[in-house]
Amino acid sequence: MSAQFNITPVSPDAAAKTLAPDPRGLKFSVQGQPDYAFLSVQIPANQTLKVEASAMATMDTNLAMKTRLRGGLGRFMTGESIFINEFTAQGGPGEIGIAPGAPGDLRHVYLDNQTIYLQNSAYVASTSGVAVESKWQGLVKGFFSGESLFLIRCQGQGDLWFSSYGGIIEIDVSGEYVVDTGNIVAFTAGLSYNVTKVGGYKSLFFSGEGFVCRFSGQGRVWIQTRKVGPLVSWVWPFRPSKK
Amino acid sequence: MDIQVVHRPGNSAAKLTLDAGESVTAEAGAMIAMSADVGITTTTHKRGSGSLTKTVKRWFAGESLFLNHFESRRAGSEVWLGTPLPGDMTSMTLQRESLIVQGGSFVACESGVEVGVGWQGFRTLLSGESLFWVKLQGTGKVLLNSFGAIYEQPVDGELIVDTGHIVAFNETLQFTLTKAGGSWLHSILGGEGLVCKFRGKGTVWCQSNNQRSFGTALTPTLRARSR
């Protein structure tokens, strides 16, 4: 397994630009970065693209959609859709526009027999050579992370796109790095992690940070600048009162 | 301490780079990532200068009761700070001066800056905005956040700002709460309600969006409280 990941850098050119960062991968473009990233992928004739359920926004009429179960029974417990849609270009190439669920940024990696772990709602799309599975984090890690008990494991060969809520910050870890559990988007397989408390016991309860992920090893972590939770708690007081 | 703000204005986050032995005080819950060897302690007050009354006041100001102190053990360690809502961040350096910050907009400050809370009187209560303001005083860098983008409004003479759009202002400015229009009726019907009238010489940092306006716009689409 190669240690070097083929991570596509973000184009400083905000205008739509078609990329094919790896000659083995598909052509695609990303617009609206970093606040409202939107992905367009060109699917060659008779090839198939896996896309997160309900993320398709536009598509050519020669694309045929098929819905499949994703990753088995574990899916039921993640709170995410257990379905994944497969779009196949019939009789010629076709283009599909994909809108991630949350306003935020998007990244592309070409996996070359490599593995990347995604936070549960970060998956956007991948080509057929990439296996997408739920990975049980273990009760302790999953429970204390305050997030999901599952991660999504993407491995194999092909294109992978994932998205965030908020902006994305890339951190190359060499040694150790601490990330708030709610801010993790994705990380490469060379890293291992522990869910630990930050600081002492007083910090555990009162710092507002609670449990954090302590990554160690060599690899990259993608983190998001926002969390959905604080937005939801802020909206809460604005609910109307029942008559 | 070096502050670099990325992804402005919508998804802003700040990267603080600390020297060995340097420390920074931040709002509880603001940390999104950091170097593994940064020490963190949580207190109810700024270290060495706190009291319980200050803590309770800060709580009323919409800030957390607790502050986190990050301490670097080597040069170049990093702390990333984010904001709870979509919006901007800005940093500035205080030189033996005071800055009044709207409750909720304080993110972090260097150790030379004291975090206090100023009581702004009962009139503020009427404005429906935060009752308390955070007072940052001393010398060092401070980091603020906003709902929407931050823009500076220099004041030389007088300036009127809607209370929901104030992020911070120099303490050199005096302010009074007043009605926006010619009459109280027009001010209330016009949706402006109370505004701040600043007087003097200094700067007001404003935010492009008003939290209360956005929140009330969402109200009809939200599920009603159960009781």
Domains of chain B are: 2-218 (3.60.160.10)
Q: What is the dihedral of CA A175, A176, A181, A187, to 10 degrees?
A: 0
Q: What is the dihedral of CA B59, B64, B68, B69, to 10 degrees?
A: -40
**Residues making up chain A, counted from first to last:** 243
Q: What percent of chain B has pLDDT over 90?
A: 44
Range with the poorest average pLDDT among A7-11, A227-231, B203-207 = A7-11
Whether B6 and chain A come into contact, CB under 8 Å, resolves to yes
pLDDT at residue B41 in the model: 85
pLDDT at residue A2 in the model: 53
Interatomic CA distance for residues B29 and B60, integer angstroms: 17
- Going by C-beta distance under 8 Å and a sequence separation of 6 or more, which residues neighbour residue B23? B69, B70, B71, B72, B111
Distance from CA of B37 to the nearest CA of A (A): 8
Cβ–Cβ below 8 Å for B227 and A242: yes
pLDDT tens, position by position, B130-149: 456 788 899 999 999 999 99
pLDDT tens, position by position, A192-230: 888 887 766 666 666 666 678 899 999 999 999 999 888
Cβ–Cβ below 8 Å for A223 and B31: no
User: The domain A26-231 is classified under which CATH number: 3.90.950.10, 3.30.360.10, 3.50.50.60, 3.60.160.10?
Assistant: 3.60.160.10
Q: Where are the alpha helices (DSSP H) in chain A?
A: 139-145, 201-206, 228-235
Residues from chain A that touch B32, judged by Cβ atoms under 8 A, are: 179-180, 183, 223, 225
Whether B62 and chain A come into contact, CB under 8 Å, resolves to no
pLDDT at residue A211 in the model: 78
Which is nearest to B214 in space by CA: B146, B133, B123? B146
- For A177, B164, B206, the CA distances from B174, given in Å and listed in that order, are 45, 18, 16
Q: What is the average pLDDT across A53-72?
A: 84
Residue, of A110 and A84, whose pLDDT is higher? A110
Residues from chain B that touch A35, judged by Cβ atoms under 8 A, are: 10-11
Residue spans of beta strands (DSSP E) within chain B: 2-6, 13-18, 23-27, 31-35, 39-43, 67-71, 77-81, 89-102, 106-110, 113-119, 132-145, 150-162, 166-170, 174-179, 194-207
Q: What is the average pLDDT across A97-126?
A: 92
Q: What is the average pLDDT across A31-37?
A: 87
pLDDT band at A23 (very low <50, low <70, confident <90, very high): confident
Which residue has 């984090």 as its token pair? A137
Compute φ and ψ for A205, nearest 5 degrees.
Answer: -90, -30
Residues from chain A that touch B219, judged by Cβ atoms under 8 A, are: 238-240
Which residue has 């599952």 as its token pair? A150
Interatomic CA distance for residues A155 and A131, integer angstroms: 5
Q: What is the average pLDDT across B55-68?
A: 60
Q: Which helix H or strand E contains B59, and what residues bound it? A: helix B52-60
Residues from chain B that touch A202, judged by Cβ atoms under 8 A, are: 41-43
Cβ–Cβ below 8 Å for A175 and B36: yes
ipTM score for this prediction: 0.81
Q: What is the average pLDDT across A7-28?
A: 68
pLDDT at residue A150 in the model: 72
Cβ–Cβ below 8 Å for A241 and B10: no
pLDDT at residue A72 in the model: 54
Distance from CA of B80 to the nearest CA of A (A): 9
Interatomic CA distance for residues B11 and A168, integer angstroms: 9
pLDDT tens, position by position, A158-205: 999 999 999 999 999 999 999 988 899 999 998 988 888 776 666 666
Whether B74 and chain A come into contact, CB under 8 Å, resolves to no
* pLDDT, averaged across chain A: 82
